[in-house]
Amino acid sequence: DVNASGYINTTDALLILQRYVGPNTTFPAGDWVFESGNATLSGGNSIILNLKGLCYGDLDGNFIPAGCSPMPTLAHAGADQTITGSSTTLAGNVPQSGSGVWAIVSGTGGAVAQTGNPTSTFTGTAENTYTLTWTISTSCTQSTDTVIITFNNPIMAIPCPGIPSFSYGGQTYNTVQIGSQCWMKENLNMGTMIDGMTNASDNGIIEKYCYNNDPANCTIYGGLYDWNEMMGYANMPGTQGICPTGWHIPTDGEWCTLTTFLDATVNCNIWGWSGTNAGGKLKETGTIHWNSPNTGATNESGFTALGTGYLYFNGFFSNLNYLTYFWSSSEGSTSGGIHRYLLYVLAKVYRYDVDKTYGFSVRCVLTN
């Protein structure tokens, strides 16, 4: 940096050249410190001599020879991201000319799974912000773009204030506070098991189904209930139904409150899949109670949904560890109840109206 500008660039190269050939006798930052010395070698003697040299030229690589080809594709690193979780998918563009590489410029604890993949997975830590560059290069030059990725602190799965757990029907249930709502952390497992071929009836006894008529599955996954049995043969949204005192069957609107709190992109006004990751935030992680790959499962909410499967009809149980259905207390039609559905290969959430005779899982929500 012979002109003391704070940068080494082509101006320095020009000044060095002028000093070398003679027009300049010094530099703005001071002249060279010249060293000279003589060494004489004879016979088999050896000597160590330290030499200093200088190279000058296009030090910042900003000179592109005329007609150089191929030029690199203009790099795009994608939009800045603010996410909740521990990983995200990068959004660099695919080079049409040249090769690309990701680099982490700032931030600690981050890792790019495949540095040469424009859509590689990037893993970071909560409450950290990272600056990454996506650079596409050819032999001529390179193009670089920057993206900033911020990892928010994940939603804390905490028990409901004052009600961390409670007993009902001889079983202990834990609670989880999600936004303004207090939910049971486990599926309801209340009542007497009946065979899947038998229709529940309004006989004053709570009747449940256990997957494959195995009581052990009720212990793990909770009971499966048809809509009318769950509702206690009432049809008022928000009724207590088979829930304990002080709790009730969540309405379609309360399921909407839950899922939109977790994922603002969920659309509660449509049937079918919506949102981005609410389902993943509700699902238990791992593949003990879900089939692989259990896409997007983080359980950040603490809801801990399991892949319970369901009772279809005529004693036909289906899809254990592949999916789960949760009833709401809202009707979609005279013969159908509105439900939420989670699947092992998606992180979204599904909303639909289905026949009330199906056997689905039940969660209770605290009555305010």
Distance CA 113, CA 91 (A): 13
The count of residues in the chain is: 368
**Residue carrying structure tokens 């977790």:** 262
Distance CA 145, CA 111 (A): 18
Q: What is the largest CA-CA distance in the chain?
A: 115
Distance CA 206, CA 224 (A): 11
Distance CA 245, CA 364 (A): 10
Helix (H) or strand (E) holding 282: helix 278-282
Count other Cβ atoms within 10 Å, centred on residue 186. 21
Torsion on CA atoms 202, 206, 210, 212, rounded to nearest 10: -30
Distance CA 1, CA 130 (A): 31
Q: What is the pLDDT of residue 270?
A: 96
Count other Cβ atoms within 10 Å, centred on residue 122. 22
Specify the amino acid at residue 159: P
Count other Cβ atoms within 10 Å, centred on residue 29. 12
Q: What is the pLDDT along the chain (368 residues), one digit of tens a residue?
A: 888 887 777 788 888 888 877 777 888 888 876 666 677 777 777 877 776 666 555 656 666 666 778 899 999 999 998 776 678 899 999 999 999 999 999 998 899 999 999 999 999 887 789 999 999 999 888 899 999 998 876 666 799 999 999 999 999 999 999 999 999 999 999 999 999 999 999 999 999 999 999 999 999 999 999 999 999 999 999 999 999 999 999 999 999 999 999 999 999 999 999 999 999 999 998 999 999 999 999 898 999 999 999 999 888 999 999 999 999 999 999 999 999 999 999 999 999 999 999 999 999 999 98
Specify the amino acid at residue 147: V
